[in-house]
Homo-oligomer: A and B are copies of this chain.
Amino acid sequence: MAEFKAPLRDMRFVLTELFDFNDINQLPGCEDFTPDVVDAVLEEAAKVCEEVLQPLNRSGDEEGCTWNDGVVTTPKGFKEAYKTFAEGGWTGIACDPVYGGQGAPKTLNALVEEMTCSTNLSFGMYPGLSFGAYAALHSHASDALKDKYLPKMVAGTWSGTMCLTEPHCGTDLGIIRSKAEPRDDGSYAITGTKIFISAGEHDLTENIIHLVLAKLPDAPKGTKGISLFVVPKFMVHDDGSLGDRNSVKCGSIEHKMGIKASSTCVMNFDGATGWLVGEPHQGMPAMFTMMNQERLSVGIQGLGLGEAAYQGAAAYARDRLQGRALTGPKSPNKEADSLLVHPDVRRMLLTQRAYNEGSRAMGIWVARALDTMKYHENAQTREEADEFVQLMTPIVKALFTDWGFETTNIGMQVFGGHGYIREWGMEQYVRDARIAQIYEGTNGIQALDLVGRKMGAKAGRYLRRFFHPVQDYIETHVNDDGLGDFVQPLAKAFMRLQQATAEIAQRGMKNPDEAGAAATEYLRLFGLVAVGFMWARMAEIALKKQDDDDDGFYKAKLITAQFYMERILPQSGALFSAIMAGSKTMMAMDEDAF
């Protein structure tokens, strides 16, 4: 199958043409990331992804991880690839320089993550989870704990996990049963079973640092009684050397639909020694502070796989000769025309592009806000960015992963029967993409987060962080020559979003089920408008540059923007109707009738 090539041209377009990367470069702490450095990082990341990670993607899927008496072995080549990856500094790219990291802004790191996911999602899970554990420790642990654990996690010598889910609960962490008993020396004895722990056990690093949610003996009920603990696989001496094995063991690994080279572990904690991270009973807020970054990253998994699937499908469509154009043969000297002559094949490929390029732009829009809220000098600016991020996070996570699954499926469909055969690699993208709609909060939970927590937050102030700039843009450009054709469909969809928002807010106050019933469709409507805004802005730039378009980049942008407005954005109407239907019908069904 076709070799994946990182879409650097489009990435640069988003970074520096659609947005102004100087804004980020000028933030305190980001000064080193000049345009030249950013370019070099992207080139290097592309190289390691294309040359080191990509070749292991299929073989990793075929071989999978194996478990033997608590020991987990990753597929052939993963250990060496991980070594290369860590030595290249990629495990610490977004980490604090104080602990040895590179301190790259999310705006840059999001693009690196995209390439990792395009070439080997299973591999990317190991450093990805590690970064999550790093971030939780970095934000909430004492300096002593940070000094002990972070440098080696940043260097990739050790990895990390997030141990949340238990057999009886995933979404509803308030009912976890894992316990933490205080010991006299200030440590805790952690006991319980955690499931679905990505990278819980493996052979890539010398130690594994588990972050574990558990309940103290005096814990209040529910989510307000959850504390966060750090539990190393091997005890760590004060000099940093490794001591005894802790009482935590991998009981088994799951056999999954996809991401087979990523170990998904049952972890048994049997009086394992751990230390409290942050304050007692404050485990959930600690989780939430890192969740925005994580959920953007999971969204990007959908995008990364979608990009890989597009590239595979486009190459196949070009090479495969099959049938004739409806308007008469295009390659009369050949046995058949290429698949690219068929409108329906173009429809599929352009749908993929509209999703991928639109998601990439929107992802960077949110990543920029993450950097602004982290680094900006002005508190007011930071707060505004934070509000925007809070609002957009569930949308990015759910929309990108739904589209990622759809896009990988389109890629497979373009291949016809060959798409269903493992050898071609297209069906792996589908299987790998499927998990992203589920983990890190199912997409249904994202939708509830949007309507339940984010919509009404601060009397609608979160919403205004999105609505105001979009409204301004529409008012300014709706009658522009040329650009108006792109802005008018956006305006129509935006009006539906505003109406739906008002309606849900009003109905939801009387009956929360009304908000719940509308949640999924509302999130999608919101996402369509947000990406529509990105496409209008991309069209604006492409219109301006179309006279200086040697490689046809801007022409393709304009066509794809138009395609989005004509073929995808009109879904807003159907979503609006579904939202308006309310909760009455679905709640009328007797439980026994299901």
Q: Is the CB of B326 within 8 A of A512?
A: yes
Q: Mark A549-571, 1 if CB is under 8 A from B, else 0.
A: 00010011001101100110011
Assembled-state Cα–Cα distance A59/B165 (Å): 28
Let me know if A516 and B552 touch, CB within 8 A. Answer: no
A431 to B348 CA separation, bound complex (whole angstroms): 21
State whether the Cβ of A413 lies closer than 8 Å to any Cβ in chain B. yes
A340 in complex: contacting residue of B342, B448, B594, CB < 8 Å: B594
Copies of this chain, whole number: 2
CB of A104 within 8 Å of the partner chain: no
Write out the residue numbers on chain B whose beta carbons fall within 8 Å of the beta carbon of A438: 412-413, 416-417, 419-420
CB distance from A566 to the nearest CB of B (A): 4
- Scan residues 398-443 of chain A and give those whose CB is less than 8 A from a CB of chain B: 405, 409, 412-413, 416-417, 419-423, 427, 430-431, 434-435, 437-439, 442-443
Among A31-39, A107-115, A317-325, the stretch in contact with B: A317-325
Main secondary structure of the interface of A (DSSP, over half): helix
Tell yes or no: A175 within 8 A of B by CB. Answer: yes
| A172, CB-defined interface residue at 8 Å | yes
**Contact with A346, one of B412, B427, B511, B589 (Cβ below 8 angstroms):** B589
Within 8 A of B (CB), among A327-368: 327, 335-336, 338, 340, 342-350
Contact A581–B593 (Cβ < 8 Å): no
Give the residue name and chain of the B residue nearest to A257 (CB): B427
Residues of B within 8 A of A325 (CB): 513
Contact A347 B517 (CB under 8 A): yes
Residue of B nearest to A417 (CB): B196
> Are B570 and A585 neighbours in the complex by a CB distance under 8 Å?
no
Contact A344-B577, Cβ < 8 Å, known A422-B255, A559-B588: no
Bound CA span A409–B585, Å: 23
Q: Is the CB of A326 within 8 A of B513?
A: yes
Q: Which of B168, B519, B559, B590 contacts A552 (CB 8 A)?
A: B590
The verdict on A344 contacting B516 (CB below 8 Å), with A318-B591, A438-B417, A566-B578 known, is yes
Nearest B-chain residue to A561, judged by Cβ: B585
Chain B residue nearest to A489 in the complex (CB): B577
- Inter-chain contact B517/A344, CB cutoff 8 Å: yes
CA distance A11 to B444 in the complex (A): 32
List the 6 closest A-B pairs by CB distance, nearest first.
A570-B577, A566-B581, A326-B512, A343-B516, A257-B427, A343-B517
Residues on A lying within 8 angstroms of B by beta carbon are 165, 168-172, 175, 195-196, 254-258, 314, 317-318, 321-323, 325-327, 335-336, 338, 340, 342-350, 405, 409, 412-413, 416-417, 419-423, 427, 430-431, 434-435, 437-439, 442-444, 447-448, 452, 511-513, 515-517, 519-520, 552, 555-556, 559-560, 562-563, 566-567, 570-574, 577-578, 581, 583, 585-594
17 example contacts (A-B, Cβ-Cβ < 8 A) are as follows A172-B323, A257-B422, A257-B427, A343-B586, A344-B444, A346-B517, A347-B517, A350-B585, A350-B589, A405-B409, A417-B439, A431-B431, A559-B588, A562-B585, A563-B585, A566-B578, A573-B573
